Structure 1
Amino acid sequence: MADLTELRTNIDDIDRQLVALLARRFNCTEEVGIYKDQHGLPAQDPSREAQQFQKIAQYAQEQGLNPEYAAAIFRHLMDLVISRHRELRSVSK
């Protein structure tokens, strides 16, 4: 069994990777927000969200992660993105 220091080092490595992936994701969603603003689309798309949550639950199950944990994390991410899309809309007006 790994010692505590090794376990924490592994967690730190994963955290770095997660932050890099989050940065990529937020760069993409920023572009989506700009597109939505330019084309008069709403900041939130409930249909798209429902599709995403179905995929996220499937991905979580495939990886042995509790789908409720994944849904809670992605709900927060999506709420941040929606908020940012609303900011972009208010800035452009």
Structure 2
Amino acid sequence: MADLAELRANIDEIDRQMITLLAERFKYTEEVGIYKDQHGLSAQDPSREAQQFQKLALYAEQSGLNPRYAEQIYRHIMDLVISRHQELKTVQK
């Protein structure tokens, strides 16, 4: 079995990768927010969210992650994105 330092080093590397991916994800969601503002679309799309949560639950199950964990994490991410999209609407006006 790995020692504590090795386990933590592995966690740190995964955290680095996750932050890199989150930064990339937020770059795209920023573009989506700008698009939505330019085209008069709502900051929130409940239909899209429902589709995403279905896919996320499947991805979680396939990866051995409790789907509720994935839902909670992504609910927070999506709420941040929606908040940012609302800010963009306010700033652009």
**Do the two structures share a fold, i.e. TM-score over 0.5?**
yes
Partner amino acid for 2:41?
L
Structure-2 separation of matches of 1:13 and 1:59: 21
Deviation at 1:37, TM superposition (A): 0.2
Task: Calculate the TM-score normalised by the size of structure 2.
Answer: 1.00
Count of aligned pairs between the two proteins: 93
Alignment root-mean-square deviation, CA: 0.2
Q: Give the equivalent residue in structure 2 for 1:66.
A: 66
In the alignment, is residue 47 of structure 1 matched against residue 25 of structure 2? Answer: no
Identity over aligned residues, as a percent? 74
Structure-1 separation of matches of 2:87 and 2:11: 33
Q: Give the equivalent residue in structure 2 for 1:12.
A: 12
Per-residue displacement from partner, 1:42-89 (whole Å, max 9, x unpaired)?
000000000000000000000000000000000000000000000000
The unaligned stretches of length 5 or more in structure 2 are: none
Task: Calculate the TM-score normalised by the size of structure 1.
Answer: 1.00
Structure-2 separation of matches of 1:59 and 1:73: 13
Deviation at 1:14, TM superposition (A): 0.1
Partner amino acid for 1:7?
L
Structure-2 separation of matches of 1:41 and 1:30: 14
Partner amino acid for 1:37?
D
Q: Give the equivalent residue in structure 1 for 2:82.
A: 82
Partner amino acid for 2:30?
E
- List structure 1 segments (4+ residues) > 3 angstroms apart after TM superposition: none
